[in-house]
């Protein structure tokens, strides 16, 4: 029988609970903007209980902020190191990131990634690998920088039906649009300013052509609705061809142009996902989300509207999401993917969107097949009207090549050919 009395036992337990756990030993793959931001955060939080033991980078010749002996140039060495408790992958090569992350999950490892393109392209396989081998993958840093949107959807709204999840998911394009709207700056100098401040990459295509927020929308579709999508299924139109004419048009209506990623549960029970520039009025919480900030609106069936806002670009904001995932792993947290176990929702692109289109290419007008024209201005070269979503998906590359600019007004309705067959889907505004 134990010699400890209940009181003494309680005291012993209290003393034991105050003993800090051994620091997590972290292997960091990548030391760019996010990697350095995360490293700096850990350095500033010595009591957090984690330390970066090894760092893998690709280019030996690139100047670094740490001594050369801190780095290895072979990421596979970190995969083979059994003393590392967690691997943090923050490189920009989606294919290499998938090779490293999938290998680590097959080893049953705990992994954190910030690579949204990799997660969006391979999410079904990544989920399966976690179930098969017992590893854990967290990726809060892959979506909306410092905003805890993935865990909010997975844990808090894991059971509640959601009417929509929409927002500004890309800080780089939002910064450019803010500068153009406030100062009358043209697109090129606004982009150069974003690049100089580290908000946009030297090759801005992923951000400005809306590939980046499309990847994020695909990830959120799995957590918010239990729908696994290929990125190519989602319409993405960017701001590479925006002009002062478009900014001025929005201003006349008291609106701003924002790149809005939207996941919408339609009245007929189907899901659609869109990532395009959109006219946003003062009534929207997104109207005041400027500079490099992101904002997300959750419309829940029972909880009602929720709004989250935070920095979406930069090493420290994104590094803070990596830190949150590291803390979650220490508590054995893993995504529940509760809605993936529900009966799958149907995904549809059989809709018509009201768009603003500025172009000098008359062939594009024919190809898009406007079903209804609500406004037209020949002198400014723009037209407003309804077009099939499928037509925009089919011709999105042609729109970019023709230097056309497209923005949604927010109005959506069923495709004309099926409007009589689907009377339950009314025209809605998003």
> What 3-state class would DSSP assign to 248?
helix
- Using CB atoms within 10 A of its CB, is residue 202 exposed (0-12), middle (13-18) or buried (19+)? exposed
* Per-residue model confidence (pLDDT) at position 421: 45
**pLDDT at residue number 64:** 92
Q: In 3D, which of 166, 164, 126, 124 has the Cα closest to residue 144?
A: 166
In this structure, what DSSP letter does residue 28 have? E
Pairing of strands 304-311, 162-168: unpaired
Residue 332's Cβ-count burial label (10 Å; 0-12, 13-18, 19+) is exposed
58: annotated active-site residue: no
Residues 350 and 421 sit within 8 Å (Cβ to Cβ): no
Cβ atoms of 228 and 222 closer than 8 Å? yes
How many Å apart are CA 301 and CA 292, to the nearest integer? 30
Averages of pLDDT over runs of 10 residues in the chain (430 residues) are 49 55 94 96 96 96 92 97 98 96 98 97 98 98 96 96 98 95 90 87 91 98 98 98 95 96 96 98 97 97 97 91 97 96 94 96 92 88 96 96 96 74 50
pLDDT for residue 202: 76
306's CB contacts (< 8 A; 6+ apart) are 297, 298, 300
Q: What is the pLDDT of residue 1?
A: 43
Q: What are phi and psi of 105, to 5 degrees?
A: -70, -35
Measured CA to CA in angstroms, residue 97 lies from 87, 92, 105, 198, 426 at distances of 12, 8, 12, 22, 43
Q: Do residues 72 and 54 make contact, with C-beta atoms less than 8 angstroms apart?
A: yes
In angstroms and rounded to an integer, the radius of gyration of the C-alpha atoms of the chain is 24
d(CA 263, CA 163): 8
Q: What was the pLDDT predicted at 298?
A: 98
Structure token digits, residue 218: 């695909």
| pLDDT at residue 10 in the model | 55
Query: Distance between alpha carbon 176 and the CA centroid of its chain, in Å?
Result: 18
Domains of the chain: residue spans and CATH = 19-138 (3.40.50.720), 149-429 (3.30.360.10)
Q: What is the pLDDT of residue 200?
A: 80
Closest-CA residue to 405 (of 275, 243, 175): 243
pTM, entire model: 0.92
- 58, 62, 116, 216: the active-site residue: 216
CA–CA separation, 124 and 231 (whole Å): 12
């Amino acid at each position: 029988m134990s010699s400890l009395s209940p009181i003494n036992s309680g005291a012993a337990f209290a003393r034991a609970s105050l003993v800090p756990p051994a620091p997590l030993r972290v292997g960091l793959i990548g030391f760019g903007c996010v990697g350095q931001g995360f490293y700096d955060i850990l350095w500033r939080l010595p009591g957090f209980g984690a330390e970066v033991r090894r760092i893998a980078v690709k280019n030996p010749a690139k100047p670094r902020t740490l001594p050369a002996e801190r780095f290895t140039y072979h990421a596979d060495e970190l995969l083979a190191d059994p003393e590392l408790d967690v691997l943090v992958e923050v490189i920009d090569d989606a294919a290499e990131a998938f090779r490293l992350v999938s290998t680590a999950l097959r080893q049953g490892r705990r992994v954190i990634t910030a690579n949204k393109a990799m997660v969006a392209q391979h999410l079904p396989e990544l989920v399966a690998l976690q179930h098969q081998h017992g590893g854990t993958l967290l990726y809060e840093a892959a979506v909306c920088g410092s905003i805890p949107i993935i865990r909010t959807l997975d844990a808090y709204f894991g059971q509640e039906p959601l009417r929509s999840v929409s927002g500004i998911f890309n800080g780089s394009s939002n910064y450019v649009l803010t500068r153009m709207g406030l100062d009358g700056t043209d697109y090129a100098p606004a982009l150069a300013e974003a690049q100089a401040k580290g908000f946009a990459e030297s090759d801005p295509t992923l951000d400005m052509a809306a590939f980046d927020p499309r990847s994020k929308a695909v990830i959120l579709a799995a957590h918010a609705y239990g729908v696994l999508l290929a990125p190519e299924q989602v319409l993405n139109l960017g701001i590479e061809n925006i002009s002062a004419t478009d900014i001025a048009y929005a201003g006349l209506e008291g609106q701003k142009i924002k790149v809005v990623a939207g996941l919408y549960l339609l009245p007929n029970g189907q899901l659609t996902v869109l990532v395009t520039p959109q006219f946003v009025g003062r009534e929207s919480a997104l109207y005041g989300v400027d500079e490099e900030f992101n904002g997300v609106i959750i419309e829940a069936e029972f909880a009602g509207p929720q709004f989250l806002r935070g920095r979406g670009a930069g090493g420290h904001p994104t590094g803070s999401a990596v830190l949150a995932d590291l803390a979650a792993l220490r508590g054995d947290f893993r995504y529940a993917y509760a809605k993936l176990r529900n009966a799958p929702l149907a995904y549809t692109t059989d809709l018509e969107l009201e768009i603003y289109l500025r172009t000098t290419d008359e062939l594009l007008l024919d190809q898009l097949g406007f079903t209804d024209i609500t406004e037209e201005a020949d002198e400014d070269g723009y037209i407003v009207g309804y077009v099939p979503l499928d037509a925009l998906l089919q011709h999105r590359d042609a729109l970019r090549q023709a230097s056309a600019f497209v923005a949604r007004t927010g109005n959506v309705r069923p495709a004309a050919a099926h409007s009589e067959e689907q009377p339950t889907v009314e025209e809605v505004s998003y």
